Structure 1
Amino acid sequence: MEGFDLTAIMLVTSLLVPIIGAFMAATPYLMRRGEVFAVTVPTSEQNDPYVKALKRRYAVVVGAATAAFTLAGFACAAAGNVDGVMGVLIVGSLGLTAGGYGLMLAYRAKMTAYKNKHGWEADAQESVAVVGEQPVPHAVSVKWNLLYLPVMLITFAVGAIGYAHMPDQIPMHMDFDGTVNRYAEKTPIILWMPVLIQAFMGLCFAFSHWTIAHSKKWAEPGAPATSALAYGLFARAQSIYLVVGGLVIAVAMIAMPLSFMNLINLGQAGVLVMIAALVLCIGGMAVSVVYGQAGSRVFKRMQTSDRLLVDDDRYWKFGVFYFNPDDASLFLPERFGVGWTLNFARPAVWAIVVGGLVLTVAFVVAVMVLF
């Protein structure tokens, strides 16, 4: 592998850890104003000194760990230690994710005790129906995901046109030092490999888009109209991000048939795909920071209340797993994090989880057997 390819791969890889860590550190500030570390509180209590101190402490701890892993990753990259860069990526990303979640659980326990101490309880479970003269924004149509089809056709066409120029043994995998360690025999079926990957990823993005369109809508009882508008804008932005982000990844996959023809090497193809993944991560963070979870940052100055209008803490197991058999919704906004989660009390959800697992295993097996 050429030096530029190796340097680019190490640089892009090293940037993933600070992106993950920055998002984890900012998460408490992105949540809905009536939730603190997955605990429901009166909206006016966001300015409580204890609450602000917990958020700040969480951000400092996760931020410090992120800085340490980032420095280690850049040090390894500067020394040309590829194994070190990959080790920092794996240990750092898993450590920040698991550590951040564990710290959230610890602060959740503190917030629960603080909530009980102050006697914050919902007098009655209030729900709202949003009625207004203007329609509430919503996710863009799932049909936009059909844009994956022409990209897949172009990818197949590029491979088909260049098939005659492909070597008999096509490089499929190489070490970071540029040594090819796996080949695939040149057959027409090789043309379907990048298309199969695009199709699987397209289905994943399309399903995520579909869950947004069919998710339980969030509206705060204390400010039903503005919160519903904020959620609608958030859902629209996230759905657009999924469509655009998925297309960026799909277009980057066109590099695969180009590498089969030796127009670019595997290292350069890998760099293009990794840059696309980095763009996807940065785009996701940008949407999260601008809108906040469920649109919490869109209207920062919505009317606050000292009352606790709704309290569903008992349905959130370990702060992130929603289990409510009385709720017909399959999908709903997350309690800690930006995005959506599942109602694990619904049998249909488990069918979706099992179906997704089967599809993923089938995809992995197909790639291993066919290619």
Structure 2
Amino acid sequence: MTLAIALSSALAALVLAIALMLPSINSPTVPFGVRVPAQFAEDPAIVKQTRIYRWRVLFSGIVAAGVCLVMYSLTGETLLLPLSVMLLVGFWYGCFFLANHEIRSAKAAGGWFQGLHQGIAVDTGLRTDPPRFPWLWLAPASIVTAATVVIGVIIYPSMPEVLAVHYGAKGMPDRLAAKTVGTAFSLVFLQIGVTALLVGIAAAVFFGSKPDIDPAHPVASARWHRRYMSLGAKALLGLAAMIDLAMLGSSLLMWSGTVTSWAPLVIVLPILAAVAVTVVVLARNNRERDAGEEDTGLTHREDDKYWRGGLFYINREDHALLVPRRFGLGWTLNFGNPRAAMLLAGVIALLGLVITLRFGG
């Protein structure tokens, strides 16, 4: 009970911290997903909406926590605790859309792009001299998965004939299954699936993403993009390794028949720690630095028409699969690209595998 509350509170606190700090670490020329000229980045309308957004998010976090604690006190159901995180995310995006709408209105009313020289900058070196994909960062995930297979093969004959294939929130087995190769190595299949998916996303970031080069500072912007792209790929591969480590721990519990109230920590802690580290690394490097480069006098094109609500990018004329997020960390799909459906299908298939293996009958 206490463990479930602690884990849910830690996750909610992480989400709340991310929501509050994003306006400060995102590019000042796309506040709340709205493209604005650099000279309007500190416009009073933007400053006001940033302040209101933070108060709304903070209030929403208090409300979400209060609602779920009341529901938990009335029902005693620990599965309701993660609901606070879902509520907070919903409130968070509601606050975002309100700010997005107000800034778009202020930009239109003020004619912020009138008379400005708009331009596009590209990094042609991405084709002639692309950065190297960090394949060595795949080694930890591969080693952990291989170790899981080897350990499982060695101890398979001595495993209990009935395996605990799922643990409840209190750490007690709540679903059992007869020992078979498929049952015993179900989490190995999950390791392989997660690793393949995250490697695929990292490769898509490297080879299928479009950089958002600032035409005012093209050299520094291109340099930042290469560094951020490499950090993003390394973060995804590191996350795969930690997820695989969590699956190894869960497999050992299943294979040994161990019953402990700390079972949820075996899975949650490595993943939560990896997510926290990933967020910190990307957040520290999420804003490009001009490094003293002289301003060219150009500004980004006004391209809000391709962004639905500042979050969803839909441009059928753009062949890029991924583009940098306007609000948040990392990249988002170009939903106008047919390949986006294939990637989403892979994610849905993996989620279906997780549900089948861990929650199915």
TM-score range, shorter chain: 0.7 to 0.9
* 1:25 aligned residue: 20
- The question of 1:65 aligning with 2:60 is answered yes
Cα distance per residue 1:21-71 (max 9 Å; x no partner) = 111122222221211111111112222232112112211221232245457
- The question of 1:236 aligning with 2:227 is answered no
How far the C-alpha of 1:287 sits from its partner, in A, is 1.8
How far the C-alpha of 1:156 sits from its partner, in A, is 1.6
Contact 2:171 2:259 in 1 (8 A): no
Aligned-partner SS, 1:326: coil
Aligned-partner SS, 2:28: coil
Q: Matched residues in 2 for 1:255 and 1:94: separation?
A: 27
How far the C-alpha of 1:313 sits from its partner, in A, is 0.5
Aligned-residue RMSD, C-alpha? 3.3
Distance 1:14 1:356, change over 3 A: closer
Cα distance per residue 1:230-258 (max 9 Å; x no partner) = 22222222211111121112122211232
* 2:316 aligned residue: 325
Aligned-partner SS, 1:243: helix
Selected match of 1:11 from 1, 6, 18: 6
How far the C-alpha of 1:129 sits from its partner, in A, is 3.3
* 1:48 aligned residue: 43
Q: Matched residues in 1 for 2:221 and 2:122: separation?
A: 11
Q: Which stretch shows the higher mean deviation, 358-367 or 252-261? A: 358-367
Aligned-partner SS, 1:170: strand
* 1:112 aligned residue: 104
Q: Matched residues in 2 for 1:34 and 1:130: separation?
A: 20
> Could you list the runs of 5+ residues in structure 2 that have no partner in the other structure?
none
Aligned-partner SS, 1:236: helix
How far the C-alpha of 1:9 sits from its partner, in A, is 4.2
* 1:255 aligned residue: 249
* 1:3 aligned residue: none
Q: Matched residues in 2 for 1:29 and 1:302: separation?
A: 22
Amino acid at match of 2:104: T
Contact 1:25 1:62 in 2 (8 A): yes
* 2:175 aligned residue: 182
Aligned-partner SS, 1:47: coil
Cα distance per residue 1:298-333 (max 9 Å; x no partner) = 558776798643111111112211111222212111
Selected match of 1:127 from 120, 130, 151: 120
Q: Matched residues in 2 for 1:263 and 1:353: separation?
A: 36
Distance 1:138 1:69, change over 3 A: farther
Cα distance per residue 1:114-148 (max 9 Å; x no partner) = 1112212264541113479xx99947435643543
* 1:162 aligned residue: 155
The 5-angstrom pairing of residues 188-267 of structure 1 reads 188-214=181-207, 215-262=209-256, 264-265=258-259, 267=261
Distance 1:61 1:268, change over 3 A: same
Selected match of 1:337 from 296, 304, 328: 328
Aligned-partner SS, 2:82: helix
- The question of 1:282 aligning with 2:276 is answered yes
Distance 1:345 1:131, change over 3 A: closer
Q: Matched residues in 2 for 1:350 and 1:176: separation?
A: 34
Aligned pair count?
Answer: 357
Distance 1:141 1:268, change over 3 A: same
Aligned-partner SS, 1:253: helix
Q: Which consecutive segments of 4 or more residues in structure 1 shift more than 6 A?
A: 71-77, 300-307, 366-369
Aligned-partner SS, 1:254: helix
How far the C-alpha of 1:225 sits from its partner, in A, is 0.9
Q: Matched residues in 2 for 1:137 and 1:103: separation?
A: 38
Distance 1:261 1:314, change over 3 A: closer
Contact 1:319 1:336 in 2 (8 A): yes
> Could you list the runs of 5+ residues in structure 1 that have no partner in the other structure?
1-5
Q: Matched residues in 1 for 2:12 and 2:256: separation?
A: 32
Aligned-partner SS, 1:40: coil
Distance 1:248 1:242, change over 3 A: same
Contact 1:25 1:59 in 2 (8 A): yes
Q: Matched residues in 2 for 1:103 and 1:300: separation?
A: 33
Q: Matched residues in 2 for 1:362 and 1:17: separation?
A: 26
How far the C-alpha of 1:355 sits from its partner, in A, is 4.6
Q: Which stretch shows the higher mean deviation, 338-347 or 216-225? A: 338-347
Contact 2:64 2:87 in 1 (8 A): no
* 1:173 aligned residue: 166
